[in-house]
Amino acid sequence: MSRVFAVKCDDYQRENVYRAVDEMIKLYGGIDNIAKKGETVFLKINLVIKKHPDEAATTHPMVIEAVSKRLVENGCRVIIGDSPGGPYNEKVLRGFYKVCGIEEAAKNSGAELNYDCTYSDYKTPQGCVSKVLTMINPPFKCDKIITISKLKTHSMAVYTGAVKVLFGMIPGVLKVEYHFKMPEIYDFSNLLVDICETVKPSFSIIDGIVAMEGMALLQVFLRMLDFF
């Protein structure tokens, strides 16, 4: 049974976010229980669409900065990344990192930004709906994978918590293919479980200080379809 902690934070002011992150770490038993000195940690964030942090569609950079900073201070190498919707290449990633505030978060915390856009097929013999998943490579090269998702609505699911963020392991426009192959909520939900069981994140955080409610997912679909 996983342990879940909820920490109150009213806004994205630096001191408030750092306090909330520190409280969360303390509740979990200390930073060493999350990642130890010398380990390389991949922070899998949510960059589903190129939006300013105030639009609440992506993981807020202040949360990313606070988590990264504490891990770096503990002697970890931290790599921040995601595969956004649409084309997946270094130029696209640079644009997302800048607009979404992640570039600054990495600079302030001492973390690195991922520009490795390679991906491979990974066998999932115990998968419910797929025995092979095409996923990005960088997270699998690290000692730990930590997810920092964004609390927001989804057009298909009622609630996915810290699971749906791992759909970003599917590279770029291939996400649309998976959606088209599994239009029913039951199959798509099982796909998310298959990804999660394969990736096995060691720790998950949800940025719910300001949640998103709206049509951002539809915007992402339309944007990706433009590239087919």
Fold of 14-215: Rossmann fold (3.40.50)
Q: Assess contact for 66 and 60: CB atoms under 8 A.
A: no
More confident residue, 139 or 183: 139
pLDDT digits (tens, 9 = 90+) for 103-158: 999 999 999 999 999 999 999 988 888 899 999 999 999 999 999 999 987 777 77
Structure token digits, residue 153: 């609505």
Quick one: pLDDT at residue 215? 59
Domain residue spans in the chain?
Answer: 14-215
What is the value of pTM for the model shown?
0.91
Map 11-74 to HEC letters.
Answer: CCCHHHHHHHHHHHHHHCCCHHHCCCCCCEEEEEECCCCCCCHHHCCCCCHHHHHHHHHHHHHC
